[in-house]
Structure 1
Amino acid sequence: MNSEEINELELLGHNAWFAQERMRLGGWLLRADNGISRRANSVLPLGTPGLNLSTAIDFAIEFYSSRDLITRFQVSEASLPSELDATLADIGFSKVFHVEVWTSEISSLLKVHPSCDTEYLDTLSEGWIDTYLQASGYDPSTMNVRRGILERTDQPRIFVQANGSDSIVAVGFGVVEGNWLGVFNIGTHPEKRRSGAALSINHALGVWGNKQGAKKVYLQVETNNSIAKNLYTKLGFNHAYTYWYRQLDTVKKEKIAASDCLQHEDC
């Protein structure tokens, strides 16, 4: 995948996971949302900042430190300027949390045979939120901010739940922009894992995305999550590129659970 294609997907992911506060610095997007999720609290460097690089980095440090947040950059091989990653490393930004972006034709999801009944929701329900919380293991105090992120995108989006006999067993979230369906927040209740519920959610998102005109699918998965990667390999997905975070650990730790991005939730 070339740099233009990588940055297209990086922008799609940004538009699907919209932080409450956003600021442009040339071709950089500075995002902040109470320290909840890395993606919503980091710089996305899709173009050059329009300033001397050192000055631009100092601006970003001030932006985040004034909000009592870690200064963090979401970096890929396509980030601009090209010397950004090396410069961040030289001034003490640690490299953490590698995330892989996987892609496929939408037919990969359409061919799945669902094993659970699924239901589409235009708005989040308390049942969806509770199942997502149980599946992810997040701190309940972060859920209001997470809910805002999920509901904020101005692109077509849908929430899906898989229903068992007496409860919701799995949930997911999809966003369509252009020809792409983004698949997010696939989570199965801990007591219902290995039931096929996650596959049913993926299928339902594919059906919805196809009706919205999407031809291709992307998702984000933590590099060391072999279970999710094996699943999507079997469905026909391929690794497109990897991004990582550079962060300056100079302020208090934010409320990011150890399980963040356990599958492809809010990497």
Structure 2
Amino acid sequence: MSACETSELERAAVATWPATTVVRQDGWLLRHCDRLRRRRSNSALPLGSSADPDAAIEVVERFYAERSSPPAVQVSPWEEHSELDSLLAERGYRADAPTVIMRTDREALLHSCPPQDFEVLLDPSPGSRWLDAVAAVGGRPEPGLDRAPAPVAFATAVHAENPVGVGMFAVSDDWCGLYGMHTAPEWRRRGVAASLIRAGVGWASAERVFLQVETANAVARSRYESLGFTRAHTYHYRIQ
């Protein structure tokens, strides 16, 4: 990927995930959320390099201290912020949740996801139907996702009127982000994820698609690679 496309993808990832407080300050995007405890809603994202990295990190520490939260930095893309990563490590920040961002094109993805025998229901908000489906397939319901900015769709794959998989699809510019993909254990490797993706990406009409998967989840990464996703860049968090 070019540096320009990497920057576009980063902006889309920020725009498609909710946080109650988002502040641009001194080269950071500072995010905090009192409803969603996910790291990406409660971490600082570097927007560029700093002439005084130590002073920049102190900006992060003050921001989260004011909110009684541990300072956390999403070092993304890691390939562009390795010096920041080293400095955070020297200051005692532990590394957490190494993640790969993967991307593909819409048409190639739809070709890789042929129609399956699952009905997919799309809701514009995470109402009780979707939250109940998340719990039914073994996921973790998060009501705070009602803050996800539109356009967004909450998808439920159904077989014989029973939920078998869920996902969330959010659009920013020409990117569609896939989040919260989860399939009931007894329905894995039976086309549920492909059905969800086909419905969600078809709804979105964005030409480019991305997702984020933790590096340790080799099974999921392999599955997404089989659908045509390739590595865009990596990141991890540094938490004090």
TM-score over 0.5 for the pair: yes
Which residues of 2 match residues 121-200 of structure 1 at below 5 A? 121-135=123-137, 137-138=139-140, 143=141, 146-148=142-144, 150-200=145-195
Which residues of 2 match residues 246-265 of structure 1 at below 5 A? 246-248=238-240
Contact 1:22/1:31 (8 A) holds in 2: yes
Contact 1:7/1:46 (8 A) holds in 2: no
Give the C-alpha shift of residue 59 in structure 1: 2.0
Range 191-200 or range 6-15, more displaced = 191-200
Task: Extract unaligned runs of 5+ from structure 1.
Answer: 249-267
Give the C-alpha shift of residue 227 in structure 1: 1.4
- Cα distance in 2 for partners of 1:44, 1:5 equals 17
With over 3 angstroms needed to count, the CA separation of the structure-2 counterparts of 1:10 and 1:218, relative to structure 1, is same
With over 3 angstroms needed to count, the CA separation of the structure-2 counterparts of 1:123 and 1:224, relative to structure 1, is same
Give the C-alpha shift of residue 65 in structure 1: 2.5
Give the C-alpha shift of residue 166 in structure 1: 2.9
Give CA deviations for 1:190-215 in whole Å, capped at 9, x if unaligned: 343333211110110121122xxx11
Give CA deviations for 1:35-77 in whole Å, capped at 9, x if unaligned: 601100100112246x732222112112213322221111123
Question: Identity percentage over the alignment?
Answer: 34
- Cα distance in 1 for partners of 2:78, 2:119 equals 41
State the match for 1:45 in structure 2. 46
Aligned positions, number: 236
- Cα distance in 2 for partners of 1:84, 1:14 equals 20
Alignment of 1:242 with 2:234, yes or no, is yes
Alignment of 1:204 with 2:199, yes or no, is yes
Give the C-alpha shift of residue 78 in structure 1: 5.5
Range 128-137 or range 62-71, more displaced = 128-137
- Cα distance in 1 for partners of 2:146, 2:13 equals 14
Give the C-alpha shift of residue 4 in structure 1: 3.4
Contact 2:165/2:193 (8 A) holds in 1: yes
Give the C-alpha shift of residue 237 in structure 1: 1.2
State the match for 1:97 in structure 2. 97
- Cα distance in 2 for partners of 1:240, 1:92 equals 28
Tell me the SS of whatever aligns to 2:19.
Answer: coil
With over 3 angstroms needed to count, the CA separation of the structure-2 counterparts of 1:135 and 1:72, relative to structure 1, is farther
- Cα distance in 2 for partners of 1:97, 1:132 equals 22
Contact 2:27/2:47 (8 A) holds in 1: yes
- Cα distance in 2 for partners of 1:103, 1:221 equals 11
Range 129-138 or range 154-163, more displaced = 129-138
Contact 2:137/2:163 (8 A) holds in 1: no
Give the C-alpha shift of residue 79 in structure 1: 4.9
Give the C-alpha shift of residue 106 in structure 1: 0.6
- Cα distance in 2 for partners of 1:192, 1:94 equals 36
- Cα distance in 2 for partners of 1:24, 1:199 equals 37
- Cα distance in 2 for partners of 1:173, 1:187 equals 10
Root-mean-square deviation over aligned CA pairs = 2.1
- Cα distance in 2 for partners of 1:182, 1:128 equals 18
Task: Extract unaligned runs of 5+ from structure 2.
Answer: none
With over 3 angstroms needed to count, the CA separation of the structure-2 counterparts of 1:167 and 1:135, relative to structure 1, is closer
Counterpart AA for 2:173: G
